[in-house]
Structure 1
Amino acid sequence: MGDTNLDDDETLTAYHEAGHAVVGYALGGRIERVQLGGEADDDLPERFGDCLVNWGRVSSECSWQRQCELMTILAGPVAEMIYRGERLHPAHYGPWQGDWQQAWMHCPPVKDDRSRTLILEKMIVELHQRLSDDQCWAAIAAVADELLAHEYLDEEQLSGALEFWVG
């Protein structure tokens, strides 16, 4: 679906982070910022991009909230998959392994690793279908374009594009 050079890491990162932002917003999160690049800190290593989603008060007991977080985490790799036009597995593709590990940790406890993998893979398939929808893809592309133009978008800068496309 993309029309720029697929080897452009900045463009891939912009679509990746836009996927997190659009899905997080659509599921009720407040997107505080999204950016290209991200320095290492106490919680995260140096990274290509960053999207900070505020879910408000978090309850580990709420399965709906957990599902929203999981879908938002996996939306980045899925948006990038769609842009690339190839399905790579986040557990095996280096740049997405951090997303996979984060999703793995947020996944509800299940009896074995195979069951957990199947839950996450099912979410990836569902996200791929939803993000491929023209309206959703337009929202992701709009956020990615803004991110490429400015490299950093705060909540106020994001609100216009997100409200227009996602409502």
Structure 2
Amino acid sequence: MQDRISIVVMVDAVGALSDRTLHNGNISLIDDSAAGSRHKGTPDLVTVVAPGQIVQWTPIHVDVQTPVEIQAIEFLSGAPAAPAAGQAASPHPVGHSAVPAPGVVSGAAVDAMGSNGYENHDLLVWEGVVPYDMTPGVPYRYRLSVRLHEGPNSVLSIDSPALLRV
């Protein structure tokens, strides 16, 4: 079993800001889970995880002029699936709770270090530990919010990715 699973969040910032959505090919999520994740390269990535593993999200922008950073990762209302249409989700922000709710990855944003050990201020990595009380075989959806540059419409979110315990 891998100790750490990396999820790369690639964002076309210009496309996302123009379309005002992370859909339409403006975001792509890829992981390195050896356990058979589904929908790699799409916003609907379902990353297969095991209890105790560290999951690390790293944003990468495909436009060299517009920086991208993860604003928040929130697990949707203790439920395995996304809420039904018209229902509000009760998010559990990563790193904001001392005791994680069942099925919620706990963790916090950490500064990324370059391969040579120097801080890389252009990259912010989020990570958390997969809890042991996640129900096996049930996808836990999360809201991934990214900040694209600055301004009132600079934060966009998707609710489609998930973690799935084996």
Normalised by the length of structure 1, the TM-score is 0.31
Q: Which has the higher strand share?
A: 2
Q: Which has the higher helix share?
A: 1
**More contact order relative to length (CA 8 Å, sep ≥ 6):** 1
